[in-house]
């Protein structure tokens, strides 16, 4: 089951700012700025020479970039555990950790 906490939280601007530390418009501006950087990093990761698996192998990411960014902001803003973030974003805590470290 895929969840989209960002779409739920964006409906309440005050809650969004409380959970992330920034207003929605700043979040959207920042997201626009990092999309190209994220795509470059993903391209490098997918095309590195010493791959263990072929492209597309292994587990797939469960969250899109906007939700990953929200998760990162919530982690640093609220100082909540990765287990609790996993509950909110429907991820295992090790995947929360990987996502935070990658961003």
Q: Which residue has the tokens 């997201």?
A: 31
What percent of the chain has pLDDT above 90? 65
Instruction: State mean pLDDT over 14-22.
Output: 96
pLDDT of residue 51: 63
Confidence of residue 102 (pLDDT cuts 50, 70, 90): confident
Per residue in 44-82, pLDDT (tens digit) is 877 777 766 666 555 556 789 999 999 999 999 999 999
* 80 located within any domain: yes
What is the number of alpha carbons within 13 Å of residue 47 lying toward its C-beta? 6
pLDDT of residue 65: 93
Residue 55 covered by a domain: no
Domain range for residue 13? 5-47+62-102
Is residue 12 a part of any domain in this protein? Answer: yes
Residue 15 belongs to what H/E stretch? helix 13-20
pLDDT given at position 72: 95
Which residues 6+ apart lie within 8 Å of 81 measured at CB? 93
Residue 67 and residue 75: Cα distance in Å, rounded?
A: 12
The total of structural domains in the chain comes to 1
């Amino acid at each position: 089951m895929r969840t989209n906490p960002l779409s739920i939280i964006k409906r309440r601007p005050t809650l969004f700012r409380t959970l992330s530390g920034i207003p929605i418009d700043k979040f959207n501006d920042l997201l626009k700025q990092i999309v190209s950087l994220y795509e470059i990093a993903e391209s490098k990761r997918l095309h590195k020479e010493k791959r263990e698996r072929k492209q597309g192998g292994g587990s797939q990411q469960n969250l899109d970039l906007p939700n990953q960014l929200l998760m990162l902001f919530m982690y640093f803003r609220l100082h909540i555990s990765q287990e609790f973030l996993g509950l909110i974003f429907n991820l295992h805590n090790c995947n929360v950790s990987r996502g935070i470290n990658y961003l």
